[in-house]
Amino acid sequence: MPQHSPFPHLFAPLDLGFTTLPNRILMGSMHTGLEEDKGSLHRLADYFAARARGGAGLMVTGGIAPNRQGWLAPFGAKLTTTTEAKQHAPVTTAVHNAGGKICLQILHAGRYGMHPMLVAPSPIRARISPFRPWEMSPRLIRATIRDFARSAALAREAGYDGVEIMGSEGYLINQFTVPRTNKRTDAWGGSFENRIRFPLEIMRAVREKTGPDFIVIFRISMLDLVEDGSTWDEVVAFAKAIETAGATIINTGIGWHEARIPTIATMVPRGAYTWVTERLKTAVGIPLITTNRINTPEKAEEILATGQADMVSMARPLLADPDFPRKAKAGQANAINTCIACNQACLDHVFEQKTASCLVNPRAATGNLPQAPEGKGAIAVVGAGPAGLSAAVELATRGFSVHLFEASGAIGGQFNLAKRIPGKEEYAETIRYFDTMLKKTGVAVHLNTGAGADFLLKKGFQEVVLATGVAPRIPALEGIGHPKVLSYTDVLSDQKPVGKKVAIIGAGGIGFDVAMYLTANHQVLASDAARIAAYQQEWGIDQNYQHRGGLTDPQPETPARQVWLLQRSKGKVGAGLGKTTGWAHRLTLKNRGVQMWNSVQYHRVDDAGLHLSVNGKQQILDVDHVIVCAGQEPLRTLQAPLEAAGIRVHLIGGAKLAAELDAKRAIEEGMVVAQTIRPG
Ligand code: NAP
Ligand code: SF4
């Protein structure tokens, strides 16, 4: 064990007998959309080569289907022919040239396929799919086992170091193993032995086709989080059987896609599921990988040092920062661009059939933002929110002498509000990252400096990046000046006292955040263990595993306040929230008794409360406070005087466009504008 490393367990090699992994970091499987690039997988090759250079011990591709029925979506990636295998050669070559190792994930979607050819052990439609699956005949089951083995053999031919068999998250294999979705009465259903026959035969066939010196990771659903999932005894017996059938490593799968419990979103505490892997530790002899919400080397080291697992899987954290392992090993953990588990640019993109990117790192999977030549001369960046920070660091990296002016006493802008929301504490990591990078790249940071036009002109800047952000929109409403009315910054930033009954005007991202903040009890949970216990209680996760699937009755927090969350438009409240996380925010608020109303017309605020109509029916909400979360207006008063004086001004982030302002666009604009400014 290398004692000089700050993370000795993380960087201890793992001997698999026929090969040795250099460390305990698995870049877990994650679909990016690059798998579906037509004609060439060169972008996928660049993507993985960057992570191999960054020091990942082992990587796994996004899911590749073993046949057409197994597609996630029509014309999704599959590996069924030698021609398809050849297309993967650039990926494996690039990874090996960079000193890395990579496995191909074989994923059969089963009833989660978003196409009409989908198949499953029994013809039961998933509640998240529009299609009812076809029941697989015994002949098709046998053919599918052969297809898995063929894909594995082709992966070996393509140069992969191994495969991962996807047996969790509610995909086909998982659909066979549990009574929820397997109602068969033949040799492939009914008893536990029959239900696990399909995965065991796949495992044996894959091993037989690929030989003993090929990594086979089997991902087991260790906690289904749906009714009629596995019992814990079944998980243990299955894991033992998978080991006997020839797996090299067992990976942890948590929660089906149809489960109504968030398992990877930012509100899930760090390391919330390592206990599941740990429970299996004494039952099997092969290495175990643990997963879900492990996003810092400190957390990963703690998990390994306490013997909870042999490896840690980090997919999004290595999407966010390809150099995560290298930086951790070099003692530069502070310079890691930490994944904040927002899902906004990765999973949400993939869900919308777009290529994955990353909110905190727009270069993550595209790799194609222009890399401009070295710059000289001084540039002012005004505003140290996400957009300004991103521009300042990027400009300084190019060699410009950058002065960053911030009117308040801290960098971070709107992220300073976000980090106060219970469940969004991770946003502080992005501020920490930028703080490190400002120092590393030599940006001169001027806090408490409201740089006006005269000031900037006097300083002689010829080029100014305006990232002055936004101001809360004040709706034209009678009584808007009443003492009951507060803006979201009054609440989140200035911590003004708020009464027990509250109406929130505006149900965008910030309205939801404020509702979350005001209904939470803000218990001080000092340890991750306490946070995990509270999360399990809120969502009904049973660490004692007394029922199938590991579920118990949820016990939502008693809300701290009674809240009405209001919008004028007709659609579903919260419709604009992220695809993969919006449901969890809505469910949390529903469980806390928040009334979410659409089609609201506001009339006035007075001592009686908020006067409004819903669908034409007038009423008064007798509330103590009305919090305005009605969007924002851009702040760009500097633009005109600077331009009049002949200064080149670049608007980015909220200052450019406050509507649909989001951090993803802000950080990306900062980076792009910094690349387009001409050298001095
Ligand atoms: P927003 O999403 O644009 O929502 C503004 C809300 O105010 C809407 O519900 C709108 O609904 C209402 N509204 C607009 N003008 C109004 C007026 N004149 N009077 C009364 N109501 C009015 O803005 P935001 O909530 O301030 O969020 C800003 C951005 O921050 C978001 O777009 C998002 O990208 C980002 N953010 C995201 C999250 C997240 O969860 N991902 C969290 C926080 C912030 P009606 O017009 O229907 O009334
Ligand atoms: Fe993590 Fe958000 Fe980036 Fe996805 S988009 S990798 S969740 S920071």
DSSP string, 237-284: HHHHHHHHTT-SEEEEEE--TT-SS-SSSTTSPTTTTHHHHHHHTTT-
Ligand 1: residue of 342, 347, 568, 668 to mutate (most ligand atoms within 8 A of CB) is 568
| Closest ligand to residue 347's CA | 2
Ligand 1 centroid, distance to 566 Cα (angstroms): 11
Ligand 1 pocket, residue 348 CB under 6 Å: no
Q: Are 148 and 216 in contact (CB under 8 A)?
A: no
- Alpha-carbon gap, residue 603 to 478, rounded angstroms: 7
Ligand 2: lining residues by beta carbon, under 6 Å: 316, 319-320, 339-346, 358-360
Tell me how far the alpha carbon of residue 146 lies from the centroid of ligand 1, in angstroms: 51
Positions of the chain with pLDDT under 50: 1-2
The torsion angles phi and psi of 602, rounded to 5 degrees, stand at -90, 140
CB 367 within 8 A of CB 357: no
Q: Which atom of ligand 2 is nearest to the CA of 266?
A: 7
In which order are the strands placed within the sheet that holds 501-505? 485-487, 625-628, 501-505, 562-566, 595-597
Helix residue ranges per DSSP H, 113-160? 138-157
Ligand minimally distant from the alpha carbon of residue 316: 2
628 lines ligand 1 (CB under 6 A): no
Q: How far is the CA of 659 from the centre of ligand 1 (A)?
A: 8
What's the rounded Cα separation, in Å, for the pair 63 and 188?
A: 24
Residue 373 has φ and ψ, to the nearest 5°, of -70, 170
- Longest Cα–Cα distance of the chain, Å, equals 84
- What is the CATH topology of the domain spanning 378-472+633-676? Rossmann fold (3.40.50)
Separation between Cα atoms, residue 425 and residue 535, nearest integer Å: 14
386 and 413 in contact (C-beta within 8 Å)? yes
What SS3 string covers 518-540?
Answer: HHCCCCCCCCHHHHHHHHHHHHC
Q: pLDDT digit string (tens) for 332-391?
A: 999 999 999 999 999 999 988 889 999 999 999 775 556 777 888 999 999 999 999 999
pLDDT of residue 101: 98
CA–CA distance, 545 with 275 (Å, rounded to integer): 12
Instruction: Output the pLDDT for position 226.
Output: 98
Phi, psi dihedral angles at 182 (to 5 degrees): -115, 100
Residues 6+ apart with CB under 8 A from 371: 675
- Tokens encoding 65: 């289907």
| Distant-in-sequence, close-in-space partners of 172: CB < 8 Å, separation ≥ 6 | 70, 108, 109, 110, 111, 119, 120, 144
What tokens does 126 get? 């998933």
CA of 295, closest atom in ligand 2: 1
Amino acid at 192: F
- Other Cβ atoms less than 10 A from the Cβ of 462: the count is 14
Bridge partner residues of 595 (DSSP): 564
What distance in angstroms lies between residue 394's CA and the mean position of ligand 2's atoms?
A: 19
Confidence at residue 369, expressed as pLDDT on a 0 to 100 scale: 59
CA distance 437 to 223: 39
Nearest CA to ligand 1 atom 43: 509
Ligand nearest to the CA of 364: 2
User: Hunting for tokens 């530069």 — which residue is that?
Assistant: 332
Tokens for 455? 């000031």
Tokens of 590: 């529903």
Contact predicate 34/365, CB 8 Å: yes
- Are 136 and 111 in contact by the 8 Å Cβ rule? The answer is no
**Mind listing the pLDDT tens digit for each residue in 106-163?**
999 999 999 999 999 999 999 988 999 999 999 999 999 999 999 999 999 999 999 9
Measure the N-to-C terminal CA separation of the chain; round to a whole number of Å.
49
**577 alpha carbon to ligand 1 midpoint, in Å?**
10
Compute the C-alpha angle 495/496/502, nearest 5°. Answer: 110
Q: What pLDDT is recorded for position 269?
A: 96
What is the pLDDT, as a whole number, of residue 659? 72
DSSP per residue, 590-607: HHTT-EEE-SEEEEEEET
Report the nearest-CA residue for atom 1 of ligand 2.
Answer: 339
Catalytic positions are 171
Strands 648-651 and 58-64: unpaired
Listed in order, the ranges of the chain carrying CATH 3.20.20.70 are 14-339
pLDDT value of residue 449: 97
Separation CA 63–CA 52 (nearest Å): 19
What are all long-range contacts of 147-150, with beta carbons under 8 Å and residues at least 24 apart?
A: 147/66, 147/67, 147/70, 147/80, 148/66, 148/106, 148/108, 148/202, 148/205, 148/206, 149/202, 149/205, 149/206, 149/208, 149/209, 150/66, 150/80, 150/209
Q: Which residue has the tokens 């059938």?
A: 245
d(CA 542, CA 536): 7
337-364 in b/e form (b: 16+ CB < 10 A) is: bbbbbbbbbbbbbbeeeebbbbbbbbeb
Domain with CATH 3.40.50.720 in the chain: 378-472+633-676
Pocket test for ligand 2, best of 264, 344, 352, 424 (most atoms within 8 A of CB): 344
Whether CATH 3.20.20.70 fits 14-339 = yes
Residue 424 to residue 427: CA distance in whole angstroms: 6
> What is residue 1's predicted lDDT score, i.e. its pLDDT?
45
- How far apart CA 644 and CA 109 sit, in angstroms, is 59
Q: Are 164 and 104 in contact (CB under 8 A)?
A: yes
Give the residue carrying structure tokens 């900062």: 670
pLDDT at residue 65, rounded to an integer: 98
Q: In CATH, what number does 485-521+557-630 get?
A: 3.50.50.60
Could you tell me the pTM of the whole model? 0.95
